[in-house]
Chain A
């Protein structure tokens, strides 16, 4: 059994750890083994990269070095972290000048980037274990209508994310379907959650979020399923602002795919800390006997 280095990321690790709890429970059921490392911030592909691209490359490479030292692949719980680590790896492998420059800096702290390990998004690892997943489902979520939101950084840029499809992704839908739930299609599947622009220009961020959520509402979804903590927070915490601004009710519960799985694998809402969600899950959980 291969063991991965767990890259939980800053947001999950230090703000919404209940998602890590559900993820670890699901990994255990499915037989995905992990261990920890002293990773720093990935760093953020929308924040630090915009601040200083060289810093983004160098810190990203520093994190890759930590996994290289143990000869283990990374499993990431976050779209942003996966995007950074895969992006840094891709750029350094395809641009010897950049690699030289980064390694010159890393040498000063006794490290060297070699490019010997792989970085995987946990969704892709779960997909490889789909039989095990199906075998662990004890409470199929029959009837639950789920709108999937894989998120931009899971699938783009295609050159380094190498997901199934950068504009028509299916993997998350397949994972959701394996839980017994019903995937509902909606027009704005690949539309960005708008997390980054909301931080800088709330007005535009909320207008974008409205486009996304109206589309999900029209499709009649009970919940939104995500695989990124930034998207999770955007949907979970900003629907209230949206309701206020547009005087229309937005309160669609949000579940991480691993939370959805944990429920379908028999864990209770309490065991995985669903009470820490801002959007209200109670009526949905009651309706489906969870």
Chain B
């Protein structure tokens, strides 16, 4: 186990203007209120998903403890934003977790549905592309047709940002 200072800097830099993460005193309010910890972890938090561990390891730069074989460590979070709300130190935990997830994607890891959604958005500008059957149903229900977004503009943005090359 070693400290990765570069990773640590990225964590601290991610949320511009807010370095509240350094005030984490491991009180565990986040884990106590996390719905996924509740259904996946044992009493001591040694198994399953645990936001408190992630904050500790991110702050200390223990990159190896976060990015392991077990992707549940990062991707178990269901983004309910409860931890942010209950944290007595006002740490925006989910922003840090967004950074960890983005890093996991950089490494080509992460769950399949994240990639398939990103691909659908790249291809059609919608997470759920339109289908003839649904278009008919819209018409039958008296709904106007969906106005088609500019896919080219969106693709230009995603390519320039460097997001397009992470697609699978």
A24-47 vs B, CB cutoff 8 Å, 1 = contact: the mask equals 100000000000111111011111
Number of inter-chain CB pairs below 8 Å:
193
Name B66-98 residues within 8 Å CB distance of A.
72, 75-82, 84-86, 92, 94, 98
Residue pair B113, A47 in contact (C-beta under 8 Å): yes
Contact of A51 among B80, B137, B163 (CB under 8 A): B163
CB-CB under 8 A for A14 and B157, given A36-B144, A156-B84, A207-B39: no
Binds B, one of A118-126, A189-197, A239-247: A189-197
Cβ–Cβ contact A17 & B137, under 8 A: yes
Are B134 and A15 in contact, CB atoms less than 8 angstroms apart? yes
How many B residues have CB within 8 A of the partner chain?
65
From A8, A95, A156, A207, contact of B16 by CB (8 A): A95
Q: Which residues from B are CB-within-8-Å of A105? A: 157, 160-161
Looking at B36, B86, B99, B150, the one whose CB has the most chain A CB atoms below 10 A away is: B36
Query: Is there an interface contact between A152 and B82, defined as CB atoms closer than 8 Å?
Result: yes
- B 144-160 contacts with A by CB, 8 A: 144, 146-151, 153-154, 156-158, 160
Residues of B within 8 A of A273 (CB): 137, 141
A contact residues around B143 at 8 Å (CB)? 17, 20-21, 24
Q: Which of A11, A205, A208 contacts B128 (CB 8 A)?
A: A11
- Are A196 and B154 CB-contacts (below 8 A) given A10-B128, A39-B149, A204-B36? no
B22 at the interface (CB under 8 A from A): no
- Verify if B114 is at the interface (C-beta below 8 Å from A): yes
State whether the Cβ of B125 lies closer than 8 Å to any Cβ in chain A.
Answer: yes
B146 to chain A, nearest CB (A): 5
Find chain B residues with CB under 8 A from A98 CB: 16
Q: Which residues of B contact A191 (CB under 8 A)?
A: 35
Partner of A37, one of B39, B77, B147, B157: B147
Instruction: Indicate with 1 or 0, residue by residue over A45-83, a CB within 8 angstroms of chain B CB atoms.
Output: 111111111110011001000000000000000000000
Interface pair B81/A208, CB less than 8 Å apart: no
| Contact across chains for A36 and B147 when beta carbons are under 8 A apart | yes
Could you list 15 further interchain pairs (A-B, Cβ under 8 angstroms) beyond the known A17-B134, A62-B153?
A14-B128, A24-B143, A40-B126, A40-B154, A41-B126, A44-B117, A45-B79, A50-B98, A52-B102, A97-B16, A152-B79, A152-B81, A156-B85, A204-B39, A273-B137
What are 27 residue pairs bridging A and B, where the CB atoms are less than 8 Å apart in the complex? A10-B126, A10-B128, A14-B129, A24-B143, A38-B147, A40-B121, A40-B149, A50-B101, A52-B118, A52-B166, A53-B102, A54-B163, A55-B118, A59-B121, A62-B154, A62-B157, A98-B16, A105-B157, A109-B157, A153-B81, A157-B84, A167-B86, A197-B77, A204-B39, A204-B76, A208-B39, A208-B78
Residues of A in contact with B (beta carbons under 8 Å apart): 8, 10-11, 13-15, 17-18, 20-21, 24, 36-41, 43-55, 58-59, 62, 94-95, 97-98, 105-106, 108-109, 152-153, 156-158, 166-167, 190-192, 194-201, 204-205, 207-208, 211, 273
